[in-house]
Amino acid sequence: MSELKDIYFIGIGGIGMSAIARYYNHAGYRVSGYDLTPSKLTANLEAEGIDIHYEDDINRIPKDIESTFVIYTPAIPPTLKELQYVEKMGYRLCKRSRALGEIAADKDCFAIAGTHGKTTTSTLLAHIFHHSGEGCSAFLGGISKNYQSNLILSKGKNLVAEADEFDRSFLQLFPKYAAITSVDADHLDIYNDYNTLNHTFTQFASQVKSDGAVIVNINVDIDLSPVKARVYRYSYDKECDFYASEIKLVDNGYFDFTINFPGGKIEHCTIGIPGWINVENAIAAFSVAYLEGISPEKIKEALRTYEGVERRFDIRIKSEKVAYVDDYAHHPNEISASISSIRNIFPGRKVCGIFQPHLYSRTKDFAPEFAKALSALDELILLDIYPARELPIPGVTSSIIFDKVELENKVLIKKEELMEELKHHDIDVLVTLGAGNIDRFIPLIEDYLEKNV
């Protein structure tokens, strides 16, 4: 990389891409890039001195082919002129996952994988490393509230990475330690079927170094026979290598619990954010940190001071009159866990959910499961599908979820109608759910609720 001057990103505004862009910008390269639309993330990158444009314009690409390295996200359509141009002209080019793999190659990599739970768990682990004084660099799939960034930099050898299964990206990582939080059917547009996805997680686990360890959720059923590293199991409350016991729900959805680990236990642990699912995520992060040699007492203190991740069960407003939670949940199991946690925190209150389905393929694959999960709400406002990288699939619209939802109070609208629709609801507890561009409504919803409820 010594002869390189420019790092150019196609799809720079993605959460994973933006972390790598920040990394190279901090390292002194000229960083620039394209994205489809402006966002809070791109605004932050521009504030850090990164040049970003929002038109598909080959004239904005650095002209010196020899000194330019191009990184792109697989979410970019192959028809994009900029992508076609750099391929045709012979620029050095790689996917985001390969770039992260090369950065991690000479580090002690601590990778967190799973179809859900990986963002919170990896951010928790990075916070444990920093709060304990061990230190780490971290490439995260969300904005850490403790560090106000998806990138943490350190001069040491430790690197925490969110290991993304989309497009088999995590196969570019060869970690010292890995945790696997969940393996549920997802990304079937990439994997075709669950067995292929499952086997790919086995391949990822087998890439963990032989002197390291793989820590797997007790509910994950994958073949671990090819794994050369030590294997441990963790659980929310089932006895195994690492698990919680004496779990007590205290005020406002927070928990007090004991963490049990090989050879001991530590009592009265708490996490700085509510929700039972975060107890399970904390056990996973504890497992990795403990096996790396961080003391249980230091881990306990780090868990207590953890502030969470934006868009991951993010409680934006909380009062006796009204509450508002924003959550990235975009898979039926995630939605069920989110609603369950909301019921814990706000018992007896009326919960209205706004859900924006993400991808035509995921909607098609899981329409009945989405409907069942959303039926646990009291009211549903369902939006049109956010297509992301996909073209429409004939017959696949949000209606195939809506028609199966077993709620009397439900409505299907376009996202442009959302703020007007809220006026027709007596909001008590509101939750926004989805991985698309529903986050653009967060400040509008906050402003509306604070002024009108």
- Domain of 325, CATH number, reads 3.90.190.20
The range of the structural domain enclosing residue 197 comes to: 105-304
Q: What is the pLDDT of residues 189-232, one digit of tens each?
A: 788 899 999 999 999 999 999 999 999 999 999 999 999 999 99
In this prediction, residues 79-88 reach a mean pLDDT of: 97
Q: 139 and 38 in one domain?
A: no
Cα(15)–Cα(328) distance, rounded to whole angstroms?
13
Cα(15)–Cα(4) distance, rounded to whole angstroms?
24
Domain membership of residue 422 (yes or no) is yes
Domain membership of residue 155 (yes or no) is yes
**Looking at residue 138, which CATH number applies to its domain?**
3.40.1190.10
Residue 2 predicted with pLDDT over 70: no
Cα(417)–Cα(403) distance, rounded to whole angstroms?
20
Decide which of 95, 127, 149 is a domain's last residue.
Answer: 95
Q: 367 and 292 in one domain?
A: no
Domain membership of residue 100 (yes or no) is no
pLDDT value for 388: 85
Decide which of 63, 95, 127 is a domain's last residue.
Answer: 95
Do strands 242-249 and 213-217 pair parallel, antiparallel, or not at all (unpaired)? unpaired
Residue 187 predicted with pLDDT over 90: no
Q: How many domains does the chain have?
A: 3
Which token pair is 301?
């203190």
Residue 251 predicted with pLDDT over 90: no
Q: 51 and 123 in one domain?
A: no
Domain membership of residue 18 (yes or no) is yes
Window from 92-101, 157-166, 188-197 with minimum mean pLDDT: 188-197
What are the b/e assignments for 74-105, b being 16+ CB within 10 Å?
bbbeeebebbebbeeeebebebbbebbbebbe
- DSSP per-residue codes, 389-449: TPPP-TT-STHHHHTT---SSEEE--GGGHHHHHTTS--SEEEEE-SSSGGGGHHHHHHHH
Q: 109 and 171 in one domain?
A: yes
Q: What is the pLDDT of residues 129-145, one digit of tens each?
A: 999 999 999 999 999 99
In this prediction, residues 43-68 reach a mean pLDDT of: 97
Q: 264 and 185 in one domain?
A: yes
Kind and range of the H or E element at 150? strand 149-152
Tokens 């939670």 locate to 325
Domain membership of residue 67 (yes or no) is yes
Residue 252 predicted with pLDDT over 90: no
Q: 238 and 177 in one domain?
A: yes
Window from 16-25, 94-103, 151-160, 385-394 with minimum mean pLDDT: 385-394
**Looking at residue 40, which CATH number applies to its domain?**
3.40.50.720
The confidence band for 1, taking pLDDT boundaries of 50, 70 and 90, is low
Q: 250 and 158 in one domain?
A: yes
163 near 141, Cβ under 8 Å? no
Q: What is the pLDDT of residues 223-246, one digit of tens each?
A: 999 999 999 999 999 999 999 999
434 near 386, Cβ under 8 Å? yes
State the helix-helix crossing angle for 40-47 and 15-26, rounded to 10 degrees.
Answer: 0
pLDDT value for 63: 96
Decide which of 43, 62, 95 is a domain's last residue.
Answer: 95
Q: 194 and 90 in one domain?
A: no
State the helix-helix crossing angle for 118-131 and 276-292, rounded to 10 degrees.
Answer: 50
Residue 433 predicted with pLDDT over 60: yes
Q: 164 and 109 in one domain?
A: yes
The confidence band for 186, taking pLDDT boundaries of 50, 70 and 90, is confident
Percent of the chain with pLDDT over 70: 100
Identify which of 109, 149, 133 has the alpha carbon closest to the alpha carbon of residue 23: 149
Domain membership of residue 394 (yes or no) is yes
Domain membership of residue 309 (yes or no) is no
Q: 189 and 117 in one domain?
A: yes
In this prediction, residues 366-372 reach a mean pLDDT of: 98
Which token pair is 384?
């049109």
Residue 257 predicted with pLDDT over 90: yes
Rounded to the nearest integer, the mean pLDDT of the chain is 95
Identify which of 28, 1, 33, 4 has the alpha carbon closest to the alpha carbon of residue 17: 33
Domain membership of residue 1 (yes or no) is no
Cα(166)–Cα(151) distance, rounded to whole angstroms?
20
166 near 190, Cβ under 8 Å? yes
pLDDT value for 421: 97
Q: 445 and 356 in one domain?
A: yes
Cα(428)–Cα(271) distance, rounded to whole angstroms?
26
Burial class (CB in 10 A: 0-12, 13-18, 19+), 221: exposed
Q: 133 and 274 in one domain?
A: yes
